[in-house]
Amino acid sequence: MIDTHCHLYDASFQEDFYEVIARAKANGVEKILLPNIDQTSWKPLKEVVNNSSIPCYTMLGLHPCYVRENYEQDLSFFRQELVTGHEELTAIGEIGLDLYWDKTYLSEQKTVLRRQLDWALEFKLPVALHVREAFEEIFGVLTDYKTSSLKGVFHCFSGSEAQANYIIKHHPSFFFGIGGVITYSKSGLCDLVQMLPRDRILLETDAPYLAPSPHRGKRNEPAFLTPVAQKLGSALNISFHEVCQLTTANAQQLFNFNI
């Protein structure tokens, strides 16, 4: 299995990092993708890549919740890192729009998002999109990229059936990240995934957040990808092995691990 979205550099993993990696291995996790958040997370992220015995892959990006008045300084920093180290990157992420907590910086979030989408096109990298309470706004931004080669994943997809259908129709190069929320009884994701194209579904944990049942409320970790895959298999009426094969092939297609 491939965990396509995991904040393994988070401080909550410092004390038992190697045990976390060992449990991930024991549960069949073969690769882990690390989305970046801001400047302060960049160094810890790269340290995880160097210290993990499971291959970890680097994303670079400025998370929408960390966009403030000084965003140009952040973008300048990441632009320099991108130019000098783009060959080591797997994606631009975690980027997007978030209006759940605060709408103050919506204009700035859109500016930052567009800049990073342009970087993805320039360096031929996929994107990992964070969207919370902002699907219509992000669709408005993505309209300008419909005819481009932009591709990516809607990380931790939480949209409606109508929003999923919009993505399927208008953004055929985008995938759907499915994580622990699918195990929550009231999420509705089990029904929604049945309508998604199977070649556009990815597994993720978003650890340390959104732990699946029966671990809900605890720290999430890559090993917990197993109950997510099991629940996805049940929803799609396919075996656990088939889920692993399907989602691994999808991740290989989007992130091009074979290069």
Annotated domain spans of the chain: 2-255
Q: pLDDT tens digit string along 143-174?
A: 999 999 999 999 999 899 999 999 999 999 99
Q: What is the DSSP letter of 211?
A: P
Q: Is 16 helix (H, G, I), strand (E, B) or coil?
A: coil
CA distances from 208 to 2, 92, 177, 178, 221 (A): 16, 20, 16, 15, 6
Short-list 240, 150, 238, CA closest to 198: 238
Compute the distance between CA of residue 92 and CA of residue 23 in angstroms, rounded to an integer: 28
Compute the distance between CA of residue 178 and CA of residue 194 in angstroms, rounded to an integer: 12
Residue 172 pLDDT:
96
Facing residues of 98 across strands?
132
CB-CB contact of 95 with 125 (8 Å): no
* Residue 107 φ/ψ, nearest 5 degrees: -60, -45
Q: Rounded mean pLDDT of 56-76?
A: 97
- Architecture of domain 2-255 in this structure: Alpha-Beta Barrel (3.20)
Percent with pLDDT over 90 in the chain: 97
For residue 84, pLDDT over 70 is answered with yes
Q: pLDDT tens digit string along 176-230?
A: 999 999 999 889 999 999 999 999 999 999 999 999 999 999 999 999 999 999 9
Helix (H) / strand (E) element for 23: namely: helix 17-26
Mean pLDDT for the chain overall: 96
Is pTM beyond 0.85? Reply is yes
